Structure 1
Amino acid sequence: MTQKKPTERSPQYPVAPGRLQKVFRHSPLDGWLVLLALIQFAILVFGTLSFGKIAWFISLPLAITSAALLCTNYFTVAHNFVHNPFFQSALANSVFSCFNSMLLGTPETLHRIYHFNHHKYDNAATDPRTGLRGDIGSTYRFGNSTGMEEPLLRYAILSYFRNDIPFLVRTAFKKRHHKLLIAETLSILVMLVTFGVFNPMGFFVFYLPVWLLGTIGSQAQNYLEHHGGTPGDREHNAVSCYSRFYNWIWFNNGFHQEHHFRPQVHWTRVAEVTPMLPPAEERCIVKGAHWLNFGERSKSQTQSD
């Protein structure tokens, strides 16, 4: 099958005021990610504290939106922040790290270590011959004996809870990030206690299901970003999609193989990496969005949108 040339253009975002260039380290466009986090926080807090006090047909859309924003946060806000911290000020980055930890329900420091481990091993599983640790979140780590990925649903539900927390915490202390980790953990606890004190029903019936669904969704997204790729290969281990709409709402997350090849390239410039990769017909590309990367499909699948 002849594959069309990937659409390498990146969606255009409104340019933030020039004065914000003194605030943001890499690009004032990161301000849109900060705004997205603030919107998520507002919806989460209102939805949790108002649960049982407003009509269910209002709470339900709030819950669905909150879960979707949690998943979105992992792949836009948190993802870009761990690679390229937003602010010029180290203090501002630490404060935002604590703030976003509350939104994830997971310390950003542990997420950063987990994610960098993912990049180090490029979705490769633990070597069965040597027992050497590979990507602790690999879609192959708990696959079958023939080297296949584990099923999507099992991975999505179990992956977060199989995290090697002792390894992540030890690494945080080893890298002397323990003070920030403690601050992030306390921030999460303060939020949870506040929810529990002011609206116990909202905590149990709204917040916990939202967190669970959003977290499972994020694990499913990670699976679909790599399903069909070659584990351990920085040029073929991930899946890209070039839909302009998808890349607009998820801040160029569709350029995922590009990101694995050059992980420190800022999200506003990741489309520039595409020409450095092998031809499109040799890579895994899905049409529309990663969410549609189900089942078996050819690497030469067309992807124009």
Structure 2
Amino acid sequence: MARPAYRLLAYSLWDLIPIVMALAHFAFVLWLTLDFHALSWWVIIPSALLYAVSLSWSINSISHNQIHNAYFTPAWMNRAFDLLLSVTIGFSQTLYRDIHNRHHRGNSDLPDAHGKTIDPLSIYLHGKDGQPDNPWAYTFLSFFRDDPKEIYQEMQRKRPDDARWVKVEIAVTVAFYLALAFFDWHAVLVLLPFWYLGQSLSSLNGYYEHLGGNPDLPIAWGVSSYSPLYNLIWMNNGYHAEHHYRPKMHWTKVKAFHRQIREEQRAAGVKVIPVSHGLGFLVSHRR
């Protein structure tokens, strides 16, 4: 693939959009914490709710696209951008990359005879009798169920440089929020439950990206939403069946890819919902 004229970007000038939005997201977090003491509760509460939504948005758009097609050509710039995302979102981007890649290896697979799944994020992992987990349990308990120890140990064996960078990301993230707490501990304490809510909203999003998908049929591994507004704001995350079918395809190309395989998708029974994945609970999912 020919690189764009601007050689710092690995794929497309369109990637300037998520890069700028990542910087804006970080600035928003700084503003909300550093100016917290000067804000009224009429500003704090809606801003905190926006903060929670923005975490799910960043995880499923900016961070997600960085995982599959790193934005920059120089490796050090991708390291730096991963660090920025880690601090903004509140967890290691490099570790999340491996968790997410394991998700694509399993594609929300069903548990084996020992109750294990390849995909650590599978909606079937904690379900019963081959059924998906309860949506509210998956949404609000996934944060406490996650155990990346095995994935990190595999990273240590295969890519020790990445494992060391995970420690850097965690250390800088912890130091950053300790510094914010030193500046205004009230702000960090108030925003902490909204941070958890943001992680839960990301799980909610992931649940409806796969509820009704077919774990045994690659073209139907994911569930898509073609809402124009959703895909504009979330950088084509709605094309999720297409993404799982071709995970290395750049986010700007999945819409055209959908048009190419639309009839094949219909024949395979690919599920489509009329709302964004995060609002999937508003839709009836009965077969």
Query: TM-score normalised to the size of structure 1?
Result: 0.86
The more displaced of 38-47 and 283-292 is 283-292
More helix by share: 2
Q: Which amino acid aligns with 1:156?
A: T
1:255–1:132 distance in 2 versus 1, CA, 3 Å: same
- Please name the residue that 1:13 is paired with: none
Q: CA deviation at 1:296?
A: 4.0
- Please name the residue that 2:196 is paired with: 212
Indicate conservation of the 8 Å contact 1:125/1:136, yes or no: no
| Residue 37 in structure 1 maps to residue 22 in structure 2 | yes
Indicate conservation of the 8 Å contact 2:221/2:245, yes or no: no
Q: CA deviation at 1:125?
A: 3.2
Q: CA deviation at 1:22?
A: 2.1
Q: Which amino acid aligns with 1:30?
A: D
- Please name the residue that 2:50 is paired with: 65
- Please name the residue that 1:279 is paired with: 265
- Please name the residue that 1:119 is paired with: 104
SS of aligned partner of 1:153: helix
| Residue 148 in structure 1 maps to residue 131 in structure 2 | yes
- Please name the residue that 1:221 is paired with: 205
Distance 2:22 2:214 in 1: 33
The more displaced of 103-112 and 278-287 is 278-287
Give the percent of matched residue pairs that are identical in Structure 1 and Structure 2. Answer: 29
- Please name the residue that 1:164 is paired with: 147
- Please name the residue that 2:165 is paired with: 180
Distance 2:126 2:105 in 1: 19
Q: Which amino acid aligns with 1:157?
A: F
Q: Which runs of 5+ in 2 are unaligned?
A: none
RMSD of aligned alpha carbons: 1.8
| Residue 28 in structure 1 maps to residue 13 in structure 2 | yes
SS of aligned partner of 1:293: helix
1:253–1:107 distance in 2 versus 1, CA, 3 Å: same
Indicate conservation of the 8 Å contact 1:241/1:254, yes or no: yes
Q: Which runs of 5+ in 1 are unaligned?
A: 1-17, 300-305
1:247-303 deviation line (CA, Å, top 9, x unaligned): 11111111100000000000001123323363326110111322343354477xxxx
Aligned residue among 288, 291, 295 for 2:275: 288
Distance 2:81 2:46 in 1: 27
SS of aligned partner of 1:73: helix
Aligned residue among 212, 216, 234 for 1:250: 234
Q: CA deviation at 1:228?
A: 1.1
Aligned residue among 69, 94, 104 for 1:109: 94
Stretches (4+) displaced over 4 A: none
Alignment of 1:119-138 (within 5 A): 119-127=104-112, 129-130=113-114, 133-138=117-122
Q: Which amino acid aligns with 1:252?
A: N
1:2-35 deviation line (CA, Å, top 9, x unaligned): xxxxxxxxxxxxxxxx86x222111111111011
Q: Which has the higher contact order (CA 8 A, sep 6+)?
A: 1
Distance 1:291 1:200 in 2: 31
| Residue 238 in structure 1 maps to residue 225 in structure 2 | no
SS of aligned partner of 1:148: coil
The more displaced of 186-195 and 250-259 is 186-195
Q: Which amino acid aligns with 2:86?
A: S
Distance 1:286 1:261 in 2: 18
Q: Which amino acid aligns with 1:98?
A: L
Indicate conservation of the 8 Å contact 1:228/1:296, yes or no: no
SS of aligned partner of 2:249: coil
Q: Which amino acid aligns with 2:265?
A: P
Distance 1:279 1:230 in 2: 12
SS of aligned partner of 1:137: coil
